[in-house]
A and B are shown apart, each in its own frame.
Chain A
Amino acid sequence: MALALKSTCFVQLKRPKSCYAFRSSRQLAVVSTRRSTTMAALSTVATIGISETFAKLKKEGKVAFIPFITAGDPDLSTTAQALKLLDSCGSDIIELGVPYSDPLADGPVIQAAATRSLAKGTNFDAVISMLKEVVPQLTSPVALFTYYNPILKRGVEKFMSIVNDAGVHGLVVPDVPLEETEILRNEALKYNIELVLLTTPTTPTSRMKAIVEASEGFVYLVSSIGVTGARGSVSARVENLLRDIKEATTKPVAVGFGISKPEHVKQIAEWGADGVIVGSAMVKVLGEAKSPEEGLKELENLTRSLKSALI
């Protein structure tokens, strides 16, 4: 316990006043050595888990801001910096997408990000190495977003063990329906990974109830019928869906897909969501910028503007 506190303090002392991420690799090296000597005995990281984060925010009357970026776009070191940037700019939970060759649930922005990342040679092991270095420097818990096939390839148990070692707290697997989640849930439970399930506008109420019952960490409410990608406005039915879910469960509900503007964020918070997830908009500014530095700057601007809608 004491060791954990010490490392948290260390992180806070080192956090700069501005929102710029750590750039000096020397500092990074210092952090790593510290971590390896003091943290060797611990299997968990200093940050709290996803459910606990939501519980804390609820007490403070706050709505969680949850950004999503694709690992390895434009490259893994930029991702590392982006994670730290998002963390210090006030993200409460961070979703990291593992690039996949055939992302069925993703629209053109995230598809393109995955393609760019894979072309750079990003693979799962590299993403995990990066996380092992970066996660201890974050105060927000990290949830991985991945498709099922890469999990199956490694073996569900092995996957959970690797991901837990890297300090990840949550998992979202968009192409596994409720019926097939049992194996995932059992293994995730053993390794303290919270498996977040998705419910959508097409999900009938009875099924929604089963989904919210089984979901851990939070309930991911997909705001629209379709794949990921920014939309002009948020559908009004999100309000009704939020209400129905809240009648069925006390678990926190975060809304995602299509959210890109502060107005969207504000609206969803007003409707009673416990969290707002922003993906494609973030991926776009980071991945499609002229340079990584510019991308990070744009990311910071976007994060600040979206976060301000929640204050």
Chain B
Amino acid sequence: MTSSIKSDLFLTNKLSFARNERSFSSMKRAVSNNLVAASAVKSGSKPLHVERALRVRKIDEIERGERRGKFGIYGGKFVPETLISCLGKLEADFNFVLHDAEFQAELAIALRDYVGRETPLYFAERLTNYYKNENGEGPDIYLKREDLNHCGAHKMNNAIAQAMIAKRMDRQRVVAATGAGQHGVATAAACAKLSLDCTIFMGSEDMEKQASNVFLIKLLGAQVTKVEGSFKDASSEAIRQWVNDLEVSYYLTGTVVGPHPCPSMVREFQSIIGRETRRQAMERWGGRPDVVVACIGSGSNALGIFHEFVGDEGVRLVGVEAAGFGLDSGRHAATLATGHVGVYHGAMSYLLQDQEGQVLGAHSVGVGLQYPGVGPELSFLKDTGRAEFHTVTDEEALNAYQLLSRLEGIIPAMEAAHALAYLEKLCPTLPDSTKVVVNCSGRGDKDAPLFFQHRPALDA
């Protein structure tokens, strides 16, 4: 297991290096590697060569623009000038650790022993059968089990890596904002492990809904600072705190929003999900996934599984946002579906805003999806048509939450339940044996009280 995680990370280094260098010769080298690997595949040699063959990262617009911090027009650094040089330094440190063998080795061990990677790619047999039509045809549904990560969500992949960077940068204090609390818990845990002081900003509304996470954060030794409102207000306040304190504290972004390099950093650390999925798919059925489905709040778990496959035109990328009470209700979190381009929390991206340009609040039964913005990279994927985006209401998500619990004995996070809910519409359209991978981004223990509040009749 070590070797596969290490090789994932190592190959990222090499490829990022190649990407960063962007020399003709490195491109040529990549191409010739693939040719070698292609012949290696035919002769049936080791998985490592196969991985290289599969990892054809086209140097395209995304990566070109990304070096300036932009994905097309999206992204950028729309923050007060005070933060700019701090962000520059962060970017330099980030680029350094990507190539630093020592850091990567340490991260590989942490991901294996502390986080519990790699997470299984689970064949959901009963769920697959549930969605089969009268002829017994339907897609094969696999779940990428990010719910089995330490702290119960994909958040730890990023939190541990960034906490290690904070330590490396000699910052004593880590500051973070959290919505559902999963990022808060993951950050608090990582800080406990690395002996860093930690302050978590959480919205007052969220603290009520996900109270168990508040207890966990405190138990892990972090301070919880209550901010009136929800995640968006907690984020704003955390950023202000960062500006006030930037020589001493490290702002640990939990998701793919914020000024450059934050979206890229989080995406890079979360992309292990997609890399593992690719390898596991190859081992399992000798191919790639046909469709990859993920829920979208701000986009960290979605990009985590999508990013690896963006260059593979044959893989369909499906993002599912929260329609809350319905798209017409005004109470939802469907940023890509109904938002307009704006600047928020440091990046240009789609945004839920009114005609004045004031930012609107978002709603979803999946607390972690309640964010009026969305990652700039996802905005780019939407505009280029590389990924498709759909929405699912609170009711549909609640149903899916219960369905997976009953059919597979797996309780998904309410956020991930949105991705699962979309299977209702998706499966009937797919040919027999299509390989669908759903990113089960977290576990849903935290949502059980909320579920029974919505379905009191079931609490008999």
Q: Are A202 and B356 in contact (CB under 8 A)?
A: no
Given contact pairs A101-B358, A148-B78, A227 touches B84 in the complex (Cβ within 8 A):
no
Residues of chain B within 8 A of A199, CB atoms compared: 81
Is the CB of A177 closer than 8 A to any CB of chain B?
yes
Check: B11 CB closer than 8 A to any chain A CB: no
**Of the residues A123, A153, A225, contact of B353 by C-beta under 8 Å:** A153
Query: A118 to chain B: closest CB distance in Å?
Result: 7
Which of A101, A102, A148, A177 is close to B84, meaning CB atoms less than 8 Å apart?
A: A177
A175 x B79 contact (CB < 8 A): yes
Chain B residues within 8 Å of chain A by Cβ, number? 34
Max chain A C-beta neighbours (<10 A), residue from B85, B245, B351? B85
Task: List residues 220-253 of chain B with CB under 8 A from any CB of chain A.
Answer: 232, 236, 239-240, 243-247
Return the contact of A104 from the options B77, B85, B239, B358 (Cβ within 8 A): B239
A104 touches B356 (CB 8 A): no
CB-contacts of A183-241 with B (<8 A): 197-204, 207, 211, 222, 225-227
Partner of B345, one of A104, A124, A177, A225: A104
Interface size for A (C-beta < 8 A) is 40
Option from B76, B81, B236, B239 in Cβ contact (under 8 Å) with A198: B81
Other-chain residue from A102, A103, A201 in contact with B344 (beta carbon distance below 8 A): A102
Q: Is B342 in contact with chain A by the CB < 8 A criterion?
A: yes
Residues of A within 8 A of B243 (CB): 104-105, 225-227
Q: How far is the CA of A222 from the CA of B246 in the complex (A)?
A: 15
B85 touches A225 (CB 8 A): no
Q: CB within 8 Å of B: which of A266-296?
A: none
Q: Are A118 and B358 in contact (CB under 8 A)?
A: yes
> Quick check: B358 and A225 within 8 Å, CB to CB?
no
Interchain Cβ contacts within 8 Å, total number: 110
B385 interface contact, C-beta 8 A: no
Please indicate the chain A residues that have their CB under 8 angstroms from the CB of B77 in the complex. 177, 179-180
Which residue in chain A gives the minimum CB-CB distance to B88?
A204
Known: A225-B246, A226-B243, A226-B244. A100 touches B358 (CB 8 A): yes
Taking a contact as CB atoms under 8 Å apart, the answer to whether A102 and B357 are in contact is no
The A-contacting residues of B in range 346-378, CB under 8 angstroms, are 346, 351, 353, 355-359
CB of A222 within 8 A of CB of B81, answer yes
Contact status of A202 and B359, CB under 8 A, knowing A104-B236, A175-B79 = no
Contact partners of A262 in chain B: CB under 8 A: none
B86 contacts chain A at the CB level, 8 A cutoff: yes
Known: A102-B236, A207-B85. A175 touches B244 (CB 8 A): no
By the criterion CB–CB under 8 Å, are A203 and B85 in contact?
A: yes
| Bound Cα distance A277, B207 (Å) | 38
Contact between A176 and B78, CB atoms less than 8 A apart: yes
Neighbour of B357 across the interface among A150, A197, A227, CB < 8 A: A150
CA A101 – CA B352 in complex, angstroms? 12
Measured CA separation A176–B356 after assembly (Å): 18
A146 → chain B closest CB, angstroms? 9
Docked complex Cα distance between A104 and B353 (Å):
16
CB-contacts of B84-124 with A (<8 A):
84-86
| A222 lies within 8 A of B82 (CB) | yes
In the bound complex, CA of A199 to CA of B239 (Å): 19
CA distance A175 to B357 in the complex (A): 14
Interface centre among B76, B78, B83, B244 (most CB of A within 10 A): B78
Q: Mark A142-164, 1 if CB is under 8 A from B, else 0.
A: 00000111111110000000000
Nearest CB in chain B: distance from A213 CB, A: 15
Once bound together, how far apart are the Cα atoms of A157 and B76, in whole Å? 21
A107 sits at the interface (CB 8 A): yes
Q: Are the CB atoms of A153 and B244 closer together than 8 Å?
A: no
CB-contact partner of B358 in A148, A150, A175, A211, under 8 A:
A150
Given contacts A104-B236, A150-B358, contact A177 B78 (CB under 8 A): yes
> Among A151, A175, A200, A225, which residue has its beta carbon within 8 angstroms of that of B247?
A225
B38 within 8 A of A: no
Check A154/B359 contact, CB under 8 A, given A175-B80, A202-B246, A225-B246: no
A175 touches B84 (CB 8 A): no
Shortest Cβ distance from B192 into chain A, in angstroms? Answer: 28
> Is there an interface contact between A227 and B246, defined as CB atoms closer than 8 Å?
no
Q: Smallest CB–CB gap between A286 and chain B, Å?
A: 22
- A107, B236: Cα distance in complex, Å: 11
Query: CB of A174 within 8 A of chain B?
Result: yes
Q: Are B80 and A149 in contact (CB under 8 A)?
A: no
Q: How far is the CA of A183 from the CA of B104 in the complex (A)?
A: 41
Determine the chain B residues whose CB is within 8 A of the CB of A227 once the complex forms. Answer: 80, 240, 243-244
Q: Interface on A for B, CB 8 Å cutoff?
A: 100-107, 118, 123-124, 147-154, 174-180, 197-204, 207, 211, 222, 225-227
Residues of B within 8 A of A (CB): 76-86, 232, 236, 239-240, 243-247, 340-346, 351, 353, 355-359
- Known pairs A199-B81, A225-B244; list 14 more (Cβ under 8 Å): A101-B359, A102-B344, A102-B359, A104-B240, A104-B346, A149-B344, A149-B358, A152-B343, A178-B81, A180-B78, A198-B81, A202-B82, A203-B81, A226-B243
A to B CB contacts below 8 Å, 15 in the list:
A103-B236, A104-B345, A124-B356, A124-B357, A149-B353, A153-B355, A176-B78, A177-B77, A177-B78, A179-B77, A180-B76, A198-B80, A202-B81, A202-B86, A225-B246
The 7 closest A-B pairs by CB, nearest first: A153-B357, A150-B357, A226-B244, A101-B358, A200-B82, A105-B80, A149-B357
